[in-house]
């Protein structure tokens, strides 16, 4: 990740004056990146597998950078009031597959990042390429590129087709992510 332009609350205020829905978008991004950091902490708490731990540590560092970037855009009062819930949900989303096996971890990350890629894409499409909105767009593109890389890496490591239980779990994770975004946009 090579972030082009630092964004702050002032710049976000300019952009949200044009499109008020953007505040909810960035609040949901902040909630999501908070959850992402906690997913990898959960994975690291649950797995001793060297490959899983190496994967989780590298991704954790990226998610911490994403979190710092989106956090810098929001005033403390603009963050989701449900952050404690996103932290707990994120941690269990990483911990539960980690105590099962590496494949479950990689399938979970693939499901999460598939969702996150689309989530960022929906936001990026709304933003013009120039001015302050263009700066935000460039930052979100950088984050999205990292998430796509995470998804593809997880997908390659997951290997063969998933069984029924794992498919039910990853479906639940994707559905939970959708609900979390809807909630974090508002609260």
Stretch that binds Fe ion, among 13-21, 45-53, 66-74, 79-87 (CB under 5 A): 66-74
Nearer to Fe ion, 27 or 150 (CB): 150
Answer yes or no whether residue 111 interacts with Fe ion by CB under 5 A.
no
Closest distance of CB 102 from Fe ion, Å: 18
In sequence order, what are the residues at sequence separation of 6 or more whose Cβ sits closer than 8 angstroms to the Cβ of residue 137? 124, 127, 128, 129
Nearer to Fe ion, 27 or 66 (CB): 66
Nearer to Fe ion, 36 or 180 (CB): 36
Closest distance of CB 17 from Fe ion, Å: 26
Q: At residue 125, what are phi and psi to the nearest 5 degrees? A: -60, -30
Rounded to whole angstroms, the Cα distance separating 16 from 13 reads 5
Answer yes or no whether residue 30 interacts with Fe ion by CB under 5 A.
no
Collapse the DSSP code of 5 into the 3-class scheme (helix H, G, I; strand E, B; otherwise coil) and give the result: coil
Closest distance of CB 28 from Fe ion, Å: 12
Whether residue 12 contacts residue 26, with contact meaning beta carbons closer than 8 Å, is answered with: yes
Answer yes or no whether residue 142 interacts with Fe ion by CB under 5 A.
no
* Among 177, 127, 94, 117, residue whose Cα is nearest residue 12: 127
Collapse the DSSP code of 127 into the 3-class scheme (helix H, G, I; strand E, B; otherwise coil) and give the result: coil
Whether residue 52 contacts residue 98, with contact meaning beta carbons closer than 8 Å, is answered with: yes
User: Among residues 150, 154, 177, 184, which is the contact residue for Fe ion, using CB under 5 A?
Assistant: 150
User: Among residues 29, 63, 110, 142, which is the contact residue for Fe ion, using CB under 5 A?
Assistant: 63
Residues 33-62 that bind Fe ion (CB under 5 A): 33, 36
* Among 175, 170, 145, residue whose Cα is nearest residue 158: 170
Answer yes or no whether residue 29 interacts with Fe ion by CB under 5 A.
no
Interface with Fe ion (CB under 5 A): 33, 36, 63, 66, 147, 150
């Amino acid at each position: 990740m090579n972030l082009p332009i630092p964004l702050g609350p002032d710049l976000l205020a300019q952009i949200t004056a044009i499109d008020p829905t953007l505040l909810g978008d960035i609040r949901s991004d902040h909630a999501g990146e908070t959850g992402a950091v906690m997913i990898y902490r959960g994975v690291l708490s649950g797995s001793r597998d060297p490959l899983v731990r190496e994967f989780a540590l590298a991704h954790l560092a990226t998610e911490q950078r994403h979190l710092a970037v989106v956090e810098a855009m929001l005033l403390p009062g603009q963050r989701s009031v449900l952050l404690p819930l996103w932290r707990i949900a994120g941690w269990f989303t990483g911990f539960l597959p980690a105590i099962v096996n590496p494949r479950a971890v990689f399938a979970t990350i693939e499901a999460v990042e598939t969702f996150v890629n689309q989530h960022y894409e929906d936001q990026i499409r709304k933003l013009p390429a120039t001015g302050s909105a263009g700066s935000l767009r460039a930052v979100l593109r950088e984050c999205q590129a990292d998430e796509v890389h995470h998804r593809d890496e997880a997908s390659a490591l997951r290997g063969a087709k998933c069984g029924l239980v794992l498919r039910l779990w990853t479906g639940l994770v994707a559905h939970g992510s959708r609900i979390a975004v809807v909630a974090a946009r508002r609260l």
